[in-house]
Structure 1
C-alpha cells in the first residue's frame, strides 16, 4: 500500500491523503527506472497499475503522459476510459478536465493518446517534452516504432512503460526486456494469481477456458507465449513441450539412421535447414539454422562443416521444389549445385504440393517429433509464430499463411514432414544374445508356445 499527499486547488486547499494498493509482484516497478515492463496473462492488473501511476504522477507534479498503441483507429482503442475510471475511483474528479482527445490535470499535467502508425522521424519530435510514454498492448509494437520512440522520450528522468500479454518470443518488446535488457530496465511477469483482487467472475471464466482450450488459456491467463486464433503449429509445439519432447537430451545417435536435412532455400532471402534423424516411432530434430544473404555454395560449405564437426552421417538433403529453377546468378540450378557437391543419391527435391497438404503433414508428423531445445530454439520460435494471414477489412483468416520471418523455418519443417511421413524408420532386428540366459529362456518359452499352438491346430 502506498500513501500520497494530495491537495486540490480547484475545490479546496484542504490536504488529504490518498492510499493506493499495489500487488506485491508489481512493487519493483515503483522504483525509478528508464524502462519498465509488466507482462503476463489477463487479470494480472498490469494496465490498472500503470493507469493509477499515471494519475498519481499528474497529481503530485506537472507530468506529461502519452499513452501509445501501435495502431489506434479511434480514441475508443486507447486506455482513456480506464484512466477516467481511476480518477473516479480516487475521488479526484475536480482536479481533472476530461476532454475528447486528452485529459488535463493539476499543475499543468497532460495525458494524450496516440497511435505510433501516425508518427515518422519528423513529427515524433513532438513527444520530446513528455515525462512518460506508456505503450499498452506492447506485444504488437513494431521494431520500427520502438526504435523511433526510445530516443524521442529524452527528458531528464523520463520513463517508458510497457504492458503486454506475451505473444511470440521474437516480438520486439520481448526481445528488448526478456532477452537482452539494458541495465536501466526492469520487468516483471504478473498473472491472475498475483492479483489479490482477482474477481470471482473472471475465475469462473478462466476455469472454463482451461477446460475448453488449454493452449489458448495458457496464453490468455498464464502469460505463456501465444497461440493466436490464426496459429498454424503453435498448439502442436506447445503439446510437445508439455509432453517433454523438447529438451537438450535429444542428440544424434551414431548407431541410428543417417541424417536427413529439409530446407526452404532462396537467394538473398532467408534459407532454413532442419536436421532430422529417424528413430523408432518418430523423428528427432537435432538442429535448426537459418540466415539470409547466402547462396547455394555458401550453404553447401556450412552443411559440410556441420556434418564434419558433429560426425553425423548424411542420408539425404531434401530441397524445395523450386530448387530446380535456374537463377540469374548461376548457370546451374540449386539442385544441380547440391548434387555436384554431395553426389547422386544424397540430394532430392520435395514434390510440389498444396500448402494445406504441407500443413497437414506438419501437424501429423509433429506428434511424433522430439526436438533438441537449444539447437532448435530459433526454429521452434518460428513454428510457434507461423500463422494464417488476416484480412483486417473482412476480419477473416485466409487459407494461406502469412509470409514473414516465421514462414521460412515453418516451410522448411513442412517440406521435411511431407517426406518423413512417407516411410518411417524401423530399427534393424537385433541378433539375440545367446550368452544371456534370460534371453534364451524367453526364446524357449516363445518356441514352446508356438509348438503347442501348432499341435493344437493339427488335432483339430
Structure 2
C-alpha cells in the first residue's frame, strides 16, 4: 500500500488516531468537520479494500427524503480531491463503490429507514452527519448493527453535528461521556486552516447583522435564540445591557409564582413556573421550574423547598377548572396547601399573541438571575412562530417544549399590566379594579 499524507484540521488528528468505537466532532459552521469526515470515510474504505475486507460504508442522516439530502456529494468531492482515491473508486450519478467491488457506500435516513439498516449486510463503518436531531431510539437501533470486527479493526460509528440543545441525545451519548472508546473534539471556524474567504465574509456579516444568532452558527454554542423567535432581539439586548446575571431576592417584597399548568403522565404537557418580584419599575426574575408528568404535590414541594412558600400563585384561566373525577381545581388544591392564588380570566381569541406583545413591552424592565433561570431563558429564546412553508404564512406560536415556559412568562407580563389597565378603565368610566396594585409589593 502506498503511503500518502491526508490533511486534516489539527483538532481532528487525535480523533482519528488509535482505536475507538465512536469518533465524533461538533461545532459551528465553517469548521471543516463534514469535509474531513467524508475524506476519512473514503480513505477508510480504501484501507479496507486494500486489506481484502469487503462490506458497506453507511452514510446516514436523521432526515433524508432523497439522495439530494444525503452525504453523497461530500463523498464524491472527497474522492475527487485525492488522485489515489479517484483511481480506486467508481463514481456514478447515484452510487459510489470501489472498482474491485469490495467496498460500496450506502445512504439512509434514520427517521424512515432505520429498521432496514439491519438488513444492509456487512457494515464496516457508519457515519451519521447532521446528527443533532437523531433520537435516542434511533441510536439504540443503529449501534447494535455495527458488530463487525476483524484483526486490528472493528466497525465504528462516526458522528458529526452542529450543537443546538444541550439535552439532545447525541450530546448525552457522545459529548458528555467518560467512555474511553469514544473520541471526540469541538471544532469551529478558527480551527480550520483552510477557512474560505467567502465564509469569512459571511461570518463577519452575521456578527454585524445577526449577533443573536452568531454564537450558535459560528462558535458552536447551543441555540439560545432561533431564527424567527419572538424574543430574540429582546434577549440579546438584555445580555448586552447586563440584565442577565445575578439577581437577589428582596426579603421585604412579595413573591409571585406564575404558572402554566400541565398534566400527569409521560405524554402530558409540562408544568412551568416562574418566580418573580416586582420592585418599582423593575421585574426581577428569580427562578424557573419545569417538570413533565408530575402531580401537583411535586410542584408544591419544589416551591416549599426553594423558599417560596409565601408566593402568590398566579394561574391561567384553567386553574379554576375542576377535575371531572376529583371535583378539585389547581386553584383550590393550592389554597388547601396554604398558598394564596389569583386566576387570570380567559383572554379569548388571540390570547397567545396578547401575551407575546405584553412580554415585548415589558422586556426592557426585566432582570434575570441567570444561574436559576437558564432553562427558562432557553425556552424564551426558542419560542417562535409556526409557519406554513408552502404558503409562506404564519400559523401562530409553535406548541413545543418551549411554549409552556413562554406561556407562563406571558402570564406574568399580563398580570404586571393588569393594575394599569384596570386603573385606566376606572378613570374613563369602566369598572373599577378590585385587585391590589403590584406597586404595593
Q: Which of the residues 156, 160, 175 maps onto 2:157?
A: 160
Aligned to 1:450: none
Give the equivalent residue in structure 2 for 1:189.
186
Q: What is the distance in 2 between the residues matched to 1:143 and 1:115?
A: 15
Q: Say whether residues 1:142 and 2:135 are aligned partners.
A: yes
* Structure 1, 50-59 or 24-33: larger mean CA deviation: 24-33
Deviations 1:261-318 (A, max 9, x none): 00111321321111112234422222222222333344334423433xxxx4624111
Any unmatched runs of 5+ in structure 1?
A: 7-16, 429-460
Residues 395-441 of structure 1 show CA distances to partners (whole Å, capped at 9, x for unaligned) of 7463322222222222222222221344696699xxxxxxxxxxxxx
| Aligned equivalent of 2:333 | 337
Aligned length: 404
Q: 1:375 to 1:154 in 2, by over 3 A?
A: farther
Say if 1:259 and 1:313, in contact at 8 Å, map to a contact too: no
Larger deviation, residues 87-96 vs 324-333: 324-333
Q: How far 1:179 sits from its partner (Å)?
A: 4.1
Greater displacement, 329-338 / 98-107: 98-107
CA positional deviation for 1:260: 0.4
In the alignment, which of 22, 26, 31 is matched to residue 35 of structure 1?
Answer: 22
Is 2:122 aligned against 1:124? no
Contact in 2 for aligned 1:36/1:185 (Cα 8 Å): yes
Identify the residue that residue 51 of structure 1 maps to in structure 2.
38
Distance in 2 (alpha carbons) for counterparts of 1:234 and 1:358: 16
Instruction: Give the counterpart of 2:204 among 199, 204, 207.
Output: 207
SS of equivalent residue, structure 1 residue 29: coil
Distance 1:399 1:27, change over 3 A: same
CA distance in 1, matches of 2:383, 2:296: 25
- 2:68 alignment counterpart: 76
Residue aligning to 1:322: 318
Secondary structure at the aligned position of 1:420 is classed as helix
Between the aligned partners of 1:49 and 1:276, the Cα distance in structure 2 is 48
* 2:271 corresponding residue in structure 1: 271
Aligned to 1:290: 290
| Structure 1 residue 387 displacement after superposition | 2.8
Counterpart position of 2:235: 237
Match status 1:352 vs 2:343: no
Distance 2:169 2:247 in 1: 30
Query: Partners of 2:220 and 2:280 in 1: how far apart?
Result: 35
- Give the secondary structure class of the aligned counterpart of 2:287: strand
Relative to structure 1, the CA distance from residue 99 to residue 139 in structure 2 (aligned partners, 3 Å threshold; closer, same or farther) is same
Q: Is the 8 A contact 2:352 2:407 kept in 1?
A: no
Determine whether 1:386 maps to 2:373: no
Match of 1:434 in 2: none
Tell me if the contact between 2:16 and 2:23 (Cα under 8 Å) persists in the aligned partners: no
- CA 1:180–1:129 in structure 2 vs 1: closer, same or farther (change >3 Å)? same
Is 1:24 aligned to 2:14, yes or no?
Answer: no
d(CA) in 1 for partners of 2:120, 2:278:
56
Equivalent pair of 2:255/2:310 in contact (CA under 8 Å): yes
Q: 2:97–2:103: 8 Å Cα contact kept in structure 1?
A: yes
**C-alpha separation between the residues in 2 aligned to 1:133 and 1:275?**
46
Aligned to 1:97: 90
Rounded Cα–Cα distance in structure 2 between residues aligned with 1:36 and 1:390: 36
Greater Cα radius of gyration, structure 1 or 2: 1
Cα distance in 2 for partners of 1:147, 1:112 equals 20
How many angstroms apart in 2 are the aligned matches of 1:240 and 1:149?
A: 42
- Give the alignment's Cα RMSD to 1 decimal: 2.7
Match of 1:369 in 2: 366
- The correspondence for 1:151, drawn from 128, 139, 144, is 144
Residues 242 and 143 of structure 1: is their aligned pair in 2 closer, same or farther, counting only changes over 3 Å?
farther
Cα distance change on mapping 1:316 and 1:391 into 2, 3 Å: same
Equivalent of residue 225 in structure 1, options 222, 225, 248: 222
Q: State the distance in 2 between where 1:134 and 1:347 align.
A: 54
Write the distance in 2 (CA, Å) between the matches of 1:245 and 1:185. 39
Match of 1:87 in 2: 79
- State the TM-score, normalizing by the size of structure 2: 0.83
CA shift in 2, pair 1:245/1:146, >3 Å: farther
Unaligned runs of 5+ residues in structure 2 are 50-54, 420-436
The question of whether the paired residues in 1 share the 8 Å contact of 2:90 and 2:99 is answered with no
